[in-house]
Amino acid sequence: MFRSVRGPMKHLATVALILNLGVIAARAQDVSVKMSFSGTSAPSTINLQQPNTSNDGDNFAGEGTLGSFTVTNVRAIANSPGTSSTCSGSTQLFLPELAGVGVFRFGDGSLLEVNLTHGGDCIDLTTNVAHCTLTFQITGGTRRFQHASGVLTMTETVETVASDTLGNPVLFAATGEFAGTISGVATENTQHREEQ
C-alpha cells in the first residue's frame, strides 16, 4: 500500500515542479510593447540640476499593449545646440537631452518608472515643429511593474501652441509613441499572490 501512495505523490511533485518552472519562465518572458500617446509639453519648475539646460515637463495620455495610461516626464534639454547625423542643415537645430525621469500610471493603478539615458530634439526652424527621439531605461515600479526592467524608445512630434512676449515657445502639443521591451511584468495572478 505504501508503494501505491508513493507513485502518485512522486507524480504530483513532478507536476508541481513543472508548473512552478512554467510560471517562473512566463514571468521572466520579455513583453514587446507599443503605446501611442498625445498631450502637452511646457517648461517645468522641477530642476534636474543639469548645467546650461532648460527643464521641460510632459503630460501625456494614451493606450497600448499594457492598457490605458498617463505619463509625466521631466527632461533637461541643452540650451546649446549639439550635433546629430540625422538632424543637420541650415534650417534644423539639434538640442540634446541630458537627463530625465518619468512615471507611467496605468488603469489598474500600477506605476512604471523610467530614466532618460540619451536622445534629443530635432527642430525645424522654418515650421517650429520638432521631432524627438529619446531612450528610457525602466527602473521598476509598483504592483505588476515591481520587478520590471527594459528599455523604451519614445518618438515624438511637437508643435508650438503658444509663445511668450519675447517669442520663446512655452506650450507645445505632442503626439507619438513609446516602443520597446519590458521584462518582469507580473501577470494578474502573480501580482495577487505577491500582494498577499
Nearest 10 degrees: Cα torsion 60, 61, 64, 67: 130
Residue 149: which H helix or E strand, with range? strand 149-163
Query: CB–CB of 128/92 below 8 Å?
Result: no
pLDDT at 187: 73
Three-state DSSP at 90 gives coil
Query: CB–CB of 133/159 below 8 Å?
Result: no
In a domain? residue 3: no
pTM: 0.81
Which residues span the domain enclosing 112? 30-195
In a domain? residue 21: no
**Across the 196 residues of the chain, what is the mean pLDDT of every consecutive 10-residue run?**
53 49 53 97 95 96 97 97 91 96 97 98 93 97 96 97 91 98 79 46
Nearest 10 degrees: Cα torsion 135, 126, 56, 100: 20
116: left (phi over 0), alpha (psi -120 to 50) or beta: beta
Number of domains in the chain: 1
In a domain? residue 168: yes
Cell matching residue 28: 521572466
pLDDT at 161: 94
In a domain? residue 74: yes
pLDDT at 14: 52
> What pairing do the DSSP bridges indicate for beta strands 69-78 and 92-106?
antiparallel
pLDDT at 9: 53
- For residues 54 and 77, give the distance between their C-alpha atoms in angstroms, rounded to a whole number: 5
**Cβ-based neighbour number of residue 39 at 10 Å:** 19
pLDDT at 36: 98
In a domain? residue 7: no
- For residues 51 and 39, give the distance between their C-alpha atoms in angstroms, rounded to a whole number: 27
Amino acid at 38: S
Q: Three-class SS string for 27-64?
A: HHCCEEEEEEEEEEEEECCCCCCCCCEEEEEEEEEEEE
